[in-house]
Structures are given as C-alpha cells and as structure tokens.
Structure 1
Amino acid sequence: MQAIKTIGFIGVGVMGEPMCRHLAQKSGATVLACDRDAAPLARLAECGVRAATMAEVSAQADIVFLSLPSGEVVESVVLGENGLLAGGRAGQIIVDLSTSTMNTARKAAEAMAARGMKFADAPVMRTRAAAEAGTLAVPVGADDALFALVAPFIRMFASDVVHAGGVGAGQVVKILNNMVLYETVLALSEARAIGVRAGLSPQGLFEALSIGSADSFALRNHGMKAIAPQVFPERAFPVTYARKDISYAVALADQLGVEATGAKNLMNCLDQAIEAGHGDKYAPAISLVFEGK
C-alpha cells in the first residue's frame, strides 16, 4: 500500500460522518475533515478527527475522500477556482464517494491526470445503518493500480468492494442500482395502494409477497419498514436525492440511445411527490402519491 500519512474527508453529512469515523478508527493515519456544519465535526473530534478548511485538506492530505450531495457540487469542489485540482499536487489521490455522473468522473480524472494526480469514483450503496456498521457496498471506477491503492481504505467502511471497471464505471453501477431499486419501490407503492383498496392489510400483503417470487431487498427494507406502515422520516435518503440519481440514469440512457420508459415513469412519480411537499421525506414516500396525500 502506498504510504498514506494524512487522509482528508470533505463532506461529513449523513453518510460521510460514519465513513470518516471508520477511517479515523482503523487507518492509523491523521484524518482531516471539512464540512459547513460544525456538529458532525465536533462529534468526529471525539475520535481524533481534526476539523480543517478545504485548502488545508488539499494541501496536507495524501488521499482525499469526497461525500457530497451532487455531481454539480463534486465538480465545483474538484475543478472549481479554489478546488482540489488547483491546490493539489502530483501523486495525490481523490476518491469520490458521492453519486455523480460518468461524464463528471471522467472529466475530473482527465483534469487530474494532467497534473499527475489520481482520481477514482467509488459511490457508496446501501443505507446509513450500513455506513454506521461499516458494511456499505462500493463499486469502484479506476485503473487496476489505483484500485489496489484505494480498496484497503474503502474496506474500512465497506464489506463489499468491487472493481467495476475504468473511471466512471462506479457511477454507472450506482445510478443503475438506484434506478432498479426505486423502480421496485414504485411497484411496491402501487401494490400497497391496490392491495389496501382490495381489503388486504399492507403488512400482510408484503409478508405474503416475501415468500413468493416478488421477494427482494426493496420489499424487506423499503416495503415492510416504510411503505407498509407509511413511515417516511426526514434525515434519511430523501425523495429529492432519489430524483437526482434517477435523473442521472435517464440522462445516461438518453446519451446512449436507450428509451428507459420505466425510469422516466419513476421520474414523473418523484416529481409528483416533490410537488405534494414530500421532497425531504425518506424516498419511499413516493408511496404517498398513490394514497392521494
């Protein structure tokens, strides 16, 4: 493993905070964290993480992890006027754990390669609970040598790490994962609405589906825990984030000439949920569209 003495982490929100904590507890390196919110930085300080500005992270870290809300923010942080590219140095590694686009990842990697820097896209999959437990799943887009360097660090907060291919491949896997997941969530939302009107209990319906061929991760987690009881807390993965991810999938499909009708139907449902005021609720809240709420 390349000698890594200092790790930087930019964006310690819902997912970033526990990932940063795992790195601090397991890496043996100095960990610097940057975020606009002081609260997670204060919590992380208890396990030795030092709060820092983005300029300090860029100047001092050997490897920098990003956990940011969108591809647009990633591009600004990496390629902006005072971003990581401007303040970085040859040999420095940037690992983007955010959900972005294939094009953004490739653009960042190309710009960084011109400066002798290295870039990998490694968007995380699974839930906040998995981030806390260190059991995330991560598809990584990088060449073989860079994957070998970054994978040991990613395994500090992920139980399943796969080399998806070259730069951008991780993002393709992630957005298609979310496309398939939330098209299934949409089907479960429709099933609940139909089943209830037919006189079935939502929980009973989903338990029955779980012993048939409709069984899935989405059914057991999003269906049974959120859609059936109609519990959609905030401070979880919200409808607005799901819409952002699905918009990336639809844009990629259009770019490649695929008519992704299921994803476009899902986008319409997500838009309806946002228009109804459910944008900040946990993403399975698209179920409320079928409940007339």
Structure 2
Amino acid sequence: MPEEGRPAMEIALYGLGEMGSEIARCLARGGARVHAYDPSESVEVEEQNLVRWGSVRHAAEKASVHLVVAKHLSDVESLLFSADGIGPNASQKSLIALHTTLTPEVVRDLHTRRGDTHGHMLVDAALSRRGGAVREGSLSLFVGAGDEAFAVARPVFDRYADNVVHAGDVGAGMTVKLCNNWLLYANRHSALQAIRTGRQLGVDPAVLTDALASSTGSSWALSHYSDLDEAIVTGRGAPAVIRDRTASELGMAKQMAARDGVVPTSLQETFALLDVM
C-alpha cells in the first residue's frame, strides 16, 4: 500500500492476457492504482485498485507510466501512434515500457518513429518468468534504455519484478529475451527427447524427470516439467496458441541471430520442437 499521505502511483496497463493480468494484480495489490485496457470484454481481472477503461485514450489520460503487454506488433503500433493512443493522450514526459516480445530492430524503429513527441521515454522491458508466481512479483525484466530513462523506470519495475537487468541501450532488453528463449526452447527440445527415450527404455516417468532435474543435465525446462510437456511427449501435442507463440519467438530469434545470413546450428535444430508440438 502507498505510504500514508502519499498518493498511489497511477499506472496504465494495456493487455490483460496471461502475463498482463498477473502484472496488474501484483501492482494493484502493492498499492498502485492500475488503469487497464483490453479490447476483449471476456477478460476479467478483479482487484480493488484496478479500473477497467473502454478505450486506450481513457486509460492513457490517467497515468504517466504505461506498460504495453499487447500480443502483436500491430497492436503495439496502434497503442503508440493512433490518435486515441498513448502518444497524444498520456501526460507529458510519460514512461512507456514495451513488454511485448519484439525483435531489437523493431524496438529501435519504434523508438525512432516515436521521436521526441510529448517528451515520452520509450524503453523495452522484456519479460521472463522465474521460479515463483508473477502476481507475487517473481519476474525478470531485461531492460533496454539509456541511463536516464532506466533511472526513471527502475522504481516502477521494482514494484512487480524481483530481477531487473539493465541490458544496455534501447533494443538490448529484447536481445537478452530472445537469447534467453533460444536457450529455453533448445533445452526444452532436448529434455523432451531425453524423457521420451528414457520412458521407451522402461524408466518410470516420475523417477526419470526427478532424477534429471536434480542432476547435471537439469535446466529450467526440466525443473518445470508440466502437463503440457507430458502431452507433447505422449504425442497429444500442444495447444495452437502455445505452438504459435513458440514459432513466433523462435522466428524472431532466428531473425536476430542470422545477421550474416547464417543461422547457428543449435537454433536450426530447435525448430524441430515445433514438429513435436
């Protein structure tokens, strides 16, 4: 809760999906007043300090901190640049943090297109889960920002993330995120192959996963083996939304990594994960 006599921080959040809704809960429970917008009326997030608005403009007018957790680039562009969007309607010198996963080049392009209009600061703050619940503040943020912008953003980010990394200038946060996901998906692909082989050779699945997760072959993917992984290993596949997200993030990693036209071998092999999903 805010300190007695001090007003609550006003934060606008755009996108109440899987991650956005949990960030909103964390902020609201921590005493911030969250002004949320999501075009889907079916999305429900009930918190005492959270207000839903029916337009981007109404949310933007209420805050000087703006967290963009939209799913697609087209949504981000509309939020930033439309007449009813954040740019023209947020208070002067607002902080705009892009949580949507994008390539570093795209982030730098958005930063250039934004220019100095209204004096807003645009930073990339890529999201990555940790061991606990996001709604409890267990979250990594990889931040791409100049020193001045990062100094402004850090106290905000500390409200809902327990691992805030200043990765470098604009775009660097997304570089770290895509490198992270490259390793995550590579580890996941290897883990699923190893688990399938062990099971085929008669090792009890529970014994196998516990043994691997507690030894030198462990990874985040192994330590967080889930019903989704079980479905993939047993041939039932993954939901389309999970496969599409994986394909999108691997595609961005490929675009980032293949600057000289050559895709690293480990990344090439990881695309086979999509076939088993």
TM-score tier by shorter-chain length is 0.7 to 0.9
The alignment's TM-score, normalised by the length of structure 2, stands at 0.85
Give the whole-Å Cα distance in 2 for the aligned partners of 1:190 and 1:154.
37
Q: 1:165 to 1:258 in 2, by over 3 A?
A: farther
8 A contact 2:257–2:263 mirrored in 1: yes
Q: 1:57 aligns with which of 59, 69, 74?
A: 59
State the secondary structure of the residue aligned to 2:17: coil
| Inter-partner Cα distance in structure 2 for 1:113 and 1:4 | 29
Partner residue of 1:263 out of 253, 261, 267: 267
User: Within 2, Cα distance between the matches of 1:11 and 1:79?
Assistant: 16
Q: What is the deviation of 1:13?
A: 1.3
Most deviating of 46-55 and 228-237 = 228-237
Deviations along 1:248-270, one digit per CA (max 9) or x if unpaired, are: 00011123544223223322431
Tell me, yes or no, if the aligned pair for 2:13 and 2:66 is still in contact at 8 Å.
yes
CA contact (8 A) 1:14 1:236 kept: no
- Superposition deviation, residue 34 in structure 1: 0.3
Q: How many residues align?
A: 267
Alignment of 1:56-135 (within 5 A): 56-80=58-82, 82-88=84-90, 90-115=92-117, 116-126=119-129, 130-135=133-138
- Which letter does structure 2 place at the counterpart of 1:49? L
Q: Does 1:244 align with 2:245?
A: no
| Structure 1: tracts of 5 or more residues without a match | 274-285, 287-293
Q: Secondary structure at the match of 1:158?
A: coil
Distance change >3 Å, CA 265–CA 163, structure 1 → 2: same
CA separation of 1:235 and 1:143: change in aligned 2, threshold 3 A: farther
The one-letter code sitting in structure 2 at the alignment partner of 1:63 is V
Q: Does 1:158 align with 2:161?
A: yes
**Structure with greater helix share of residues:** 1
Tell me the secondary structure at the aligned position of residue 32 of structure 1: strand
Q: Give me the whole-angstrom Cα distance separating, in 1, the residues matched to 2:222 and 2:241.
A: 17
- CA distance in structure 1 between the partners assigned to 2:64 and 2:261 by the alignment: 40
**8 Å CA contact 1:74, 1:100 repeated in 2:** no
**Where do 1:5-84 residues align within 5 Å?**
6-28=10-32, 30-41=33-44, 43-44=45-46, 46-52=47-53, 53-80=55-82, 82-84=84-86
Question: Would you say the 8 A contact 2:36–2:59 is kept in 1?
Answer: yes
SS of 2:155 mapped into structure 1: helix
2:17 and 2:214 mapped to 1: Cα distance?
A: 37
Residue 79 of structure 1: how far off its partner (Å):
3.2
Contact 2:125 2:142 in 1 (8 A): yes
Tell me if the contact between 2:13 and 2:34 (Cα under 8 Å) persists in the aligned partners.
Answer: yes
Q: TM-score, normalised by structure 1?
A: 0.80
Give the 3-state SS of the residue equivalent to 2:271 in structure 1: helix
Q: Percent same amino acid among aligned pairs?
A: 25
Query: CA-to-partner distance for each residue in 1:68-100, whole Å, 9 max, x for gaps?
Result: 113343233223464333444541211111211
The one-character-per-residue Cα deviations of 1:146-194 (angstroms, maximum 9, x if unpaired) are 1111111111111111101111111111111111011100001111221
